[in-house]
Amino acid sequence: MNMRLNILCVSVSYLVIGIILLLFPNVSLMDLCYALGIVLLMAGIINIAVYFIRGQYVEPERYGFSAGVTCVLIGLFAVLNNQEFTRIFFQILAFCMILDSIVKLQYSMDLLRMKSKKWWIVLLISLMTAGLALAILVYPFKTDRGHDRYAYCILIVDGIVNLATMLYMAHWNKRFRAMQVQAKEEGHEP
């Protein structure tokens, strides 16, 4: 599966999970984690199947198989050891959001290399979302409910930021390619 589609799926999942848990605080986190485990199992199986069906093994920078295996393993853990998965749900969530922030950091460097004047905005956003996610792990909230609500809000924010960053990257990739074509036609590098 391509990286953009994976990021889109993760971002939409963040939004949906965050909104559901924020608006319906009585939803059982165990049930949600169980459902999430099933979704991860299905996504993993699909990634693995796509890897073999589309012959992605001949494309060196495709990670569909490893992403699929990772999803299957996490999904199995969520389904078979639901209580433990629920107990560490917020740590897993924060870790995933920190990984997203690292991807956004990469995007900021890509934008810098593509000569975008606004690359630094994505850099600041990546640092901000990493800090907000880190707070889920280390900030001593007064109540569990406050901690949970904060995590759900940050999940929603990260989902929105991921989508916005992905759209901006797509715009700049297209623009940069056009600049490269124009520079080639004029006989110099962009």
Per residue in 67-123, pLDDT tens?
899 999 999 999 999 999 999 999 999 999 999 999 999 999 999 999 899 999 999
Residue 54 and residue 16 in one domain = yes
Q: What are phi and psi of 55, to 5 degrees?
A: 65, 40
Please spell the DSSP secondary structure of 128-141, one letter per residue: HHHHHHHHHHH---
What CA–CA distance (Å, rounded) separates 45 from 50?
Answer: 9
Q: What is the mean pLDDT of residues 172-178?
A: 90
Residue 46 and residue 80 in one domain = yes
Structural domain including 114 reads: 89-190
The domain boundary residue, chosen from 70, 87, 104: 87
Residue 82 and residue 97 in one domain = no
The domain boundary residue, chosen from 56, 87, 118: 87
Residue 79 and residue 95 in one domain = no
Residue 180 and residue 137 in one domain = yes
Residue 106 and residue 45 in one domain = no
Residue 190 and residue 108 in one domain = yes
Residue 182 and residue 102 in one domain = yes
Residue 93 and residue 153 in one domain = yes
Structurally, the chain folds into a number of domains equal to 2
Residue 143 reports pLDDT greater than 90: yes
Residue 73 and residue 94 in one domain = no
The separation between the first and the last C-alpha atoms of the chain, rounded to the nearest angstrom, is: 31
CB-hemisphere CA count at 13 Å for 129? 28
The domain boundary residue, chosen from 87, 107, 133: 87
What CA–CA distance (Å, rounded) separates 48 from 174?
Answer: 29
Residue 47 and residue 99 in one domain = no
Residue 59 and residue 98 in one domain = no
What is residue 61's predicted lDDT score, i.e. its pLDDT?
A: 64
What is residue 123's predicted lDDT score, i.e. its pLDDT?
A: 97
Residue 1 reports pLDDT greater than 70: no
What CA–CA distance (Å, rounded) separates 66 from 112?
Answer: 29
Q: CA–CA distance from 143 to each of 6, 93, 117, 139, 154 (Å)?
A: 34, 18, 42, 11, 17
